[in-house]
Structure formats: structure tokens, C-alpha cells
Structure 1
Amino acid sequence: MTEQLELYDVTIIGGGPAGMYTAFYSGMRDLKTKLIEAKEELGGRMLIYPEKMIWDVGGVPPILCEKLIAQLEQQAKTFDPTLVFGQQIMGLAKQPDGTYILEAASGEKHWTRTVVLAIGRGILKMAKLELEGAERYEVSNLHYTVQELEPFRGKRVLISGGGNSAVDWANELEPIASQVTVAHRRHQFGGHEKNIVRMKNSSVDVLTPYELSQLYSSNGETIERVTLRHIETGDAHQLEVDEVIVNHGLKSDFSGIKDWGLNMDDWNVYVNSKLETNLPGIYGAGDFAYYDSKVNLIAGAFTDAALALNSAKLYMDPEAPRMAYVSSHNDRFKEKNKALGISED
């Protein structure tokens, strides 16, 4: 079987910030690299909030998330890694020579010396509104994410949920919508404290503890009115709406990876300080990897990527340098600098 497959040094599973930076750093270390993403585009969890501003990446001024994704993608392609889209990796089979065969749900196979798992929270799907007939409104005014703000201008918007995204959307829509109402089934919100305070001090109507219990439509095509039920008393509150946004969290699917024998819990794989899993030649990076000093920031994902890749390089070649030379001294960038018109004399 392996004779029919091309052998890669590193195969990265996952195309979020950790996966993309791993692909770039793998090129810095002159490794033959493949990145496999289950979706049809790179970005990972960042695709959920393309219009949010990202402030906490070192040396990068505040930037729209979609622009940061584009820049990370451009960087990831620097050394021309092989990119594979639309394949959900399920199976892992170790070969007699220590290499691995990865198998996708669709049957495609990939041969690799090492694997970096940068799968974030797995294949994420928005938790749908569990009300009968709700799906019919998904083509009109029932939303599970906010891709653009402008369609909500001048509208009466209901947001059901209390996490970071619900709070952020409320704050972003408040200046342009005619009215924003947030209904959350708990008294406490799960978002960042500063953003919650901003929301509560604005014109946003915050209703707690309420849950969305019924949808009404006279034409069967768009939601025109909803019932919000008080969790503790059962009292009903009627609300006229133009748009409904539901943010009830995410459901995660790690598919067959949970059957590989990795030391993991429901959300994470446990790794050591070298980002090594309990399986030789397999590493974790980004949100999926957990260790005691974990930093859950995009910046932390970049560090994870470099650590995991350096460990993979040393696994294949114990005599190799411990880390890549920095870009200012790395021969792999000489020709690229010339292409940019930068002289190193």
C-alpha cells in the first residue's frame, strides 16, 4: 500500500492558527509538509467570528479576524506545503518501519513520518435551536453566526445565549440595530467581564434567566414574534423581532481520533513540555493540546506549533539542531528576501 502513497515528513491535521503556523515553521526546517483540513478553507475556529477585532497577537495592531486568517494563510503557504481540504481524518495505522498511515472518512490515505494534531476543539458545529420547525427559518432570519453586521442595521434583533460570542455580537450590533435584546437562561454571563459590563451599560435589553421557547410566523417563512420563558417562574414574555441570533455553544466531533489510544479527555490531548503525546511521533498544538503552563491565546498556538514541530524534527533526526534558525539568519529566506528586493549585504 505504501508504495502507492507519497511519504511526508510531517502531516498536520487541522487548518486553524496552530496548523497554519506549523506548516510555515515546518518549511523553515526544510521538511516535506502536508496539511489536512476537514473543511474547504483554512481558519479553523476563527471562521466563526470573521468580523471580530483581534488585539492580542504580539506585534500585530488590532486586526479583523478575517484579515488575520488571510495573512496566516499566506504565511502558511510560504514553503509550498501540500494542502488537502474536505477530508476528515479517522484512522491511524502504524507501519513496521515506524511511519503512519492516516485514513480519511472518505477512504483517502496519507503516509507520514510524524503527525501534528492541531484540531482545536474538533470539527465544530453550532448547537442548533431545539424547537420544532426552527430549521425552516435558517434560510431567512434565524442565524447561528454573524458574518456581516450591515444586514442587521435598523432591525429588532434577539440574541439567545450568554457566551463570549453572544455578548460580542450584542455590543457590535447595538450601535446599528434599532433594538438588541439578549436572552440568557442563566443569571451570569460567560463572556469577558469588560464586554459584559459594556453590554449592560448600553441600550441592550438584557433578560435573565430566560430561554427562547416558541417561534411565531404568519407567513411560515420568517420569524415575526417569539416567546421567552422565565426559567424560574415560567412566566412568558412576548417579543416582536426582525432577526434572531442563536448562540447556544458548539458541539465538537473528534471522530475516529478518539480511538487512537491517545491520552485525552473530552476536549484535549495531554502532552508534555515538548508537545509530545503518549504515541511516538505524534504531537499536539493549539487548543487541542493541554499542559500545565498552557496559554490559550492565538499567540500561544504559535509557540505550540514551533515546539511540536521541533520535537518532530528531532524525532526524525536526533542530530538536528534543537530549533530552526531565526528568519534573519535562515538560509531558506535568502531567495525570498531577494524576491522582495531586500539586500543582505
Structure 2
Amino acid sequence: MRKAEVKDVTIIGGGPAGLYSAFYSGLRGMDVRLIEAGEELGGKVCLFKEKMIWDAGGQPPVQGGTFADQLIGQAKTFDPELLTGRKVVRIGRGEDGLFEAETSDGMIYPSRSIIMANGGGIVTPQKLKLSGAHAAEMDNLFYTVPSIARFRGETVLISGGGDAAVDWAAEFLGIAKEVILVHRRENFCAHEAQVEKVREGGARVVLNASINRLVSDGFKQRIECVELVDSLTGRVFPVAVDSVIVSHGFDMDATLDFGGEAEPEREDGHFFIGTAEAVTTVPGIYAAGDCLKYDGKVNLLVGAFQDAVNAVNRAKTFIDPDAHDRGMVSSHNDRFKKRNRELIRQIAGVE
């Protein structure tokens, strides 16, 4: 086992709660390490990069991808150590009493405190288990939407019956040449208003059907046709397509082992039972965002940010009992004085 240098706090998870925890930890003068299992930061926001976010305070409507980039930029303000592509498999205590986060590659990351910000666990889209599907991911088979403009003028088949699938069908109206929405059941589980919008917008809705086979061009593995099967009659019929979007939900990996005295109380083996101040049942381990449960919890971005602030403040006083129990507002914080002057001069047009 290799061991990294000791940090004040290790944050597990690189979504909104984790990224804001990294920023606020730096604001409070703490050495920060953030570990994210995925290859990119941003969490679930990055699964819907083209979706508009309206409910972040003081933030004009913004696409998810842009919002994630802004969060990442903010998190980097105080130069934290940001690690991606590393899955934390165990959290325990070392002989020196420090917390140790062990990753799947055998690395040990010690710290004086832990902030859990791992949401519902590691989230990956459910993929088609059909011949040719993996190869087609390099071309015109998608599980997330990289850019709406990418599908302009195309015949797009969307498979799924939940909110995400129906919302994408609605977004593509007037952009794609044709939208084909395929659902394996008789009724959608998405919001009725969105379903009606899709129907009235001219999308072709195919119910009681599912993808049976992908037909490619045989050279680039580009899908040219999707073979659908009617679940009621067994009839198989082809549909010519330019692109395919699969929205069948997500697989969640919430496995994480805690050793001995580092085991906080959890619900369903994952969600941390805590308080509105982000405190778990183990001193030194705090939680923020969707992975934390308490009475009055707000499961919105604004709630994740509040959890992050509380988690960082509690971690700070755990490490240094003489520290103030909360950070100063940014307009008065010593760490921002020089930067504030520089920004004000830029705004005023002074060199």
C-alpha cells in the first residue's frame, strides 16, 4: 500500500456538494483533497449537460455543463488536490488515529477529517446489452446528450419512458427532422404535461415496443436501422435512424466499507443519518448533499451548498477547536481582500 500526504480534509465525491465543499474548505484555510470515482468532475449534473438549470439562487438559467464548469472553476480557487478516476472502497482509521481513505488502486489517503459527498453512489447509465451496441457508442449511439445541436436535422430514436427520455424528446422538437419515442409499456411514467407536449409536437410515439436489434453499416459500426419488437404481438419491424439515444435509467454503485470505529450510522447501507449541521454519528466524518439525511432536508442544489458549508465548518472546528464556528462572508474574508481589489479594478477599467 502506498500512502499519500496528510490533508486536513478528504472529500469523497466530485458533484456539486463535493466541489462546493472543496471551495469552502479552502476559504477556511484547510488543506483539501477531493476524490471522485468518475473520470470527470460535476456529478449527476454532467449527465444532463444540455438541460437548463433554473433553481440556483442568483444564477440566470444555465445549461448543466456550463454550471458544472463554473462549480469546478470555483472549487479550484484555493488549489485543492482534485483526483478523478479513483474509487474509494474503504474508509477507516490508521494507527495514528487519522482517517484513511483507500482507493481501488491500493492508494491510502490520510486526513484529519472526512466529508462524504458521494450522492446516491457511483451513477452510470444502463446500457444496451445488444450486439454492436458498444462499437456504436463511438458513433451514433448515446446514453447522454453531448449537444442538442449535434442532432439537428436528424431522425432521432429515443428509447425510454421516464422523465429524462420524454424531456429529451420535447427538447428535440423543431431541431431534429423526426423524433421517435419508443417505450416498452403502454403508459409513460414521465410528467403528463411533457408527454402531451411531445405528442402535440409531432413526435412519433411507439408504445409496447423495445429495441430488439441494431443494424449497422458493417464498416464504421454506425447504426442505420433499429429493429423494434412489439411486446404484445411479437411483430418485429425496422425503423431507419440517424442517431439513437437510450434513456433506461441508471445503475447505482453505493458500496463502501467502513472499518470499526469509523462506521457512521447509515440507511439502506448508504445514506448517512445525520443532522442539519451535516454531522454524522462518527466525530470527524461529515456529509453533504444527497447522501445525507435529516429532518427538513432540501434535496436541491441550494440544499447541497448549505450542507457543504455546514460540513466544512464542523470539520474546521473538529480539527481546531479554537477556530471560529463559521467562515466570514467573502466580501470581508482575508483570503479574498487582494482578489476583491483586483476584480474591482478590472470592473472599473483600471490597469
Q: Same fold (TM over 0.5)?
A: yes
Q: Tell me the equivalent position of 2:253.
A: 253
CA drift of 1:42 comes to 1.7
C-alpha spacing 1:103/1:19, structure 2 compared with 1 (3 Å): same
Alignment-mate amino acid for residue 224 of structure 1 = E
Give the Å deviation of 1:291. Answer: 2.3
Partner of 1:89: 88
d(CA) in 2 for partners of 1:141 and 1:206? 21
For the Cα contact (< 8 Å) 2:33–2:82, is it kept in 1?
A: yes
What secondary structure, in the 3-state scheme, does the structure 1 residue paired with 2:227 have? strand
Q: SS of the residue aligned with 1:248?
A: coil
By how many angstroms is 1:225 displaced?
2.6
Alpha-carbon shift at residue 74 of structure 1 (Å): 1.6
* Counterpart residue identity of residue 98, structure 2: T
Equivalence for 1:280: 283
Measured at CA, do residues 329 and 142 of structure 1 come closer, stay the same or move farther in structure 2, by a change above 3 Å? same
Paired residue secondary structure (2:86): coil
Return the alpha-carbon distance in structure 1 between the equivalents of residues 49 and 96 of structure 2: 43
TM-score of the superposition, structure 2-length normalised?
Answer: 0.88
- TM-score, normalized by length of structure 1? 0.89
Structure-to-structure mapping, 1:149-164, within 5 angstroms: 149-164=148-163
Question: Residue 310 of structure 1 aligns to which amino acid in structure 2?
Answer: N
SS in structure 2 of the partner of residue 227 of structure 1: strand
> CA 1:36–1:217 in 2, change beyond 3 Å: closer, same or farther?
closer
Structure 1 residues not aligned, in runs of 5+: none
Q: Do the aligned partners of 2:276 and 2:297 also contact (CA within 8 Å) in 1?
A: no
Letter in 2 for 1:248: H
Q: For residue 182 of structure 1, report the CA deviation from its aligned partner.
A: 0.9
Alignment of 1:1-345 (within 5 A): 5-217=4-216, 219=218, 221-257=221-257, 261-262=263-264, 263-265=266-268, 268-341=271-344
Query: How far off is 1:232 after superposition?
Result: 4.3
Q: Is the 2:91–2:99 Cα contact (8 Å) retained in structure 1?
A: yes
Tell me whether 252-261 or 74-83 shows the greater mean CA deviation: 252-261
CA distance in 2, matches of 1:258, 1:178: 52
* Alpha carbons of structure 1 residues 320 and 150: separation in structure 2 relative to 1, 3 Å: same
Aligned to 1:168, the other structure's residue is in SS state helix
Q: 1:312 corresponds to which letter in structure 2?
A: A
Shift of 1:287: 1.8
* Structure 1 stretch displaced more, 31-40 or 303-312: 31-40
- Contact in 1 for aligned 2:331/2:340 (Cα 8 Å): no
For residues 230 and 263 of structure 2, the distance between their equivalents in structure 1, rounded to whole angstroms, comes to 44
C-alpha displacement at 1:294, in angstroms?
2.1
For residue 12 of structure 2, what is the amino acid of its counterpart?
Answer: I
Identify the range of structure 1 (264-273 vs 43-52) with the bigger mean alpha-carbon deviation: 264-273
Looking at structure 2, the residues matched to 257 and 173 of structure 1 have their Cα atoms a distance apart, in angstroms, of: 42
SS in 2 for 1:78: helix
Q: CA deviation at 1:193?
A: 4.8
Instruction: After superposition, give the CA deviation of every residue in 1:209-235 in whole Å (9 maximum; x if it has no partner).
Output: 322223334636233332333344544
Distance 1:119 1:214 in 2: 36
The answer as to whether partners of 2:122 and 2:252 remain within 8 angstroms in 1 is: yes
Deviates more, 1:119-128 or 1:214-223: 214-223
Secondary structure, counterpart of 1:224 in structure 2: strand
Partners of 1:92 and 1:208 in 2: CA distance: 46
Q: Secondary structure at the match of 2:335?
A: helix
1:42/1:283 CA distance change after superposition, 3 Å: same
RMSD across aligned positions (CA): 2.5
- Quickly say closer, same or farther: Cα 1:212–1:40, change in 2 above 3 A: closer
SS for the counterpart of 1:165 is: helix
**CA displacement, residues 295-343 of structure 1 (integer Å, 9 cap, x when unaligned):** 2222221111112112212322334322211112222211221222369
Letter in 2 for 1:304: D
What is the DSSP-based 3-state SS (H/G/I as helix, E as strand, rest coil) of the residue aligned with 2:341? helix
Q: CA deviation at 1:158?
A: 0.8
2:146 and 2:84 map into 1 onto residues whose CA distance is: 22
Letter aligned with residue 299 of structure 1: V
- The one-letter amino acid paired with 1:130 is K
What is the aligned length? 342
Instruction: Name the SS of the counterpart of 1:77 in structure 2.
Output: helix
- Which sits farther off after the overlay, 107-116 or 209-218? 209-218
SS of equivalent to 2:102: strand
